[in-house]
Structure 1
Amino acid sequence: MQRELNLGRFFIGLIMMIMGGYLFLKNIHIGFNFALAYSFGSVHLTAGYVLIPFIFGIGMVFYNPDNDIGWLLIIITFILVLIGVINSISLVLNSMSAFDLMMILGLMIGGVGVFLSSLLGRRKSETALSDDSTPKIKK
């Protein structure tokens, strides 16, 4: 059996998904409160403590560029700072009416359904594919 692609449903679903996603993302506000601090049980590491291994790593790499421990300290510190930046981002959804939220979700989820149904398509039956399936009139 062969599947047929319905281009109309494909583009309608794609447009619905894009519109719903745009409206959803437009109603999200991003806040940023950077405070680089890590807690491991009762031990609290602040930004200064996190940068100490970075300082040692830089010194080790400048002294000997082939020093793997220095590179490891630099990479770990970079990853910790990156995690701290990402961790300090807060996302807040605007207050909106239930109708607005239902329309946004309806566009997004309905668009996904229409889009996927166009990709999966309906199967053509074997009789529709064969040329001999046309009804013949008896005389």
Structure 2
Amino acid sequence: MNFKNAGGTDGGSMRFLIGLIMMSGGYLLLPSIIVDPSFGLGSYVFSIGNFLVTRGLVIVPFLFGIGIVFYNSDNKLGWLLPLGSLTALVFGIFANLNIRFTSMSAFDLVVILVLFVGGIGWLLGSLRR
């Protein structure tokens, strides 16, 4: 049997594993990220022009769509309303997140980013023929 390494290259499997281990350096960045939602009661999800869309306005078409789906599951509008409402709600939640870093030295950040990006390079390089 002739087993090929990752990407069909000689030594590709070792490069692949080293790249995968280096990419795990990106995990070191996660504990230093703080995510605060600014999605309070009465706040808007997003705006369309000057019209502010609140969470309640997103839920109303969702409920109508669910009712239509339960009444007639073949109705495409019944499926479009809940899916569109959930998409708008998820988009609004992500748009209202505040993401910030805790204190971290520049050296730590550079080491983490070099490990992560270098690992991606090694991993993709191992798959190249």
Is TM (by shorter chain) over 0.5? yes
Establish whether residue 24 from structure 1 lines up as the match of residue 29 from structure 2. yes
CA offset digits 1:12-50 (Å, max 9, x no partner): 3322221x2111222222222224432111112222222
Q: Supply the AA of the counterpart residue of 2:27.
A: Y
Structure 2 counterpart of 1:85, from 86, 90, 93: 93
Conserved 8 A contact 1:61-1:71:
yes
- State the Cα deviation string for residues 86-131 of structure 1 (Å, max 9, x = none): 323332222211111121122223333444444448xxxxxxxxxx
Given residue 54 of structure 2, which amino acid in structure 1 is its aligned partner? T
SS across alignment from 2:100:
strand
Percent identity for Structure 1 against Structure 2:
45
Structure 2 residue runs of 5 or longer lacking an equivalent are 1-7
Q: TM-score, normalised by structure 2?
A: 0.67
Q: Contact 2:45–2:96 (CA<8 Å) still a contact in 1?
A: no
Q: Which has the larger radius of gyration?
A: 1
Instruction: Provide structure 1 residue ranges, at least 5 long, that are not aligned to the other structure.
Output: 122-139
CA distance in 1, matches of 2:29, 2:79: 42
Over the aligned positions, Cα root-mean-square deviation in angstroms equals 2.9
Quick one: structure 1 residues 71 and 7, their matched pair in 2 at CA, closer, same or farther if it must change by over 3 Å? Answer: closer
Separation in 2 of the partners of 1:13 and 1:69? 46
Judged with a 3 Å threshold, the aligned counterparts in structure 2 of structure 1 residues 104 and 62 are, in CA distance, closer, same or farther, namely closer
Which residue of structure 2 aligns with residue 127 of structure 1? none
Q: Kindly indicate whether the alpha-carbon contact (under 8 Å) linking 1:5 and 1:119 is maintained by their aligned counterparts in 2.
A: no
Instruction: Kindly indicate whether residue 77 of structure 2 is the aligned counterpart of residue 69 of structure 1.
Output: yes
